[in-house]
């Protein structure tokens, strides 16, 4: 049985929409938001975590 998840990569087309979903609907927080230049302007590598997590 899986009792925790450490990392999961979830590629999305609309990053801002995805952030709203994970924060507003699922209650996660943005743990990191780093620019990702390899994908072009406006791209970033965003990590989410639990509201009081240790991410």
Residue 29 in domain: yes
Residue 5 in domain: no
Residue 35 in domain: yes
For 13-49, what is each residue's pLDDT tens digit? Answer: 888 898 899 889 988 888 888 777 665 666 677 777 7
DSSP state of 18: H
DSSP state of 17: H
Number of compact structural domains in the chain: 1
pTM score over 0.75:
no
Residue 3 in domain: no
Range of the domain at 39: 15-49
Residue 6 in domain: no
User: What is the rounded CA–CA span in Å between residue 4 and residue 33?
Assistant: 23
User: What is the rounded CA–CA span in Å between residue 10 and residue 14?
Assistant: 12
């Amino acid at each position: 049985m899986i009792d925790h998840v450490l990392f999961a990569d979830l590629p999305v087309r609309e990053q801002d929409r995805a952030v709203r979903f994970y924060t507003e609907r699922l209650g996660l927080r943005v743990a990191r938001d780093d620019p990702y230049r390899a994908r072009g302007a406006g791209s970033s590598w965003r990590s989410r975590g639990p509201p009081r997590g240790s991410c």
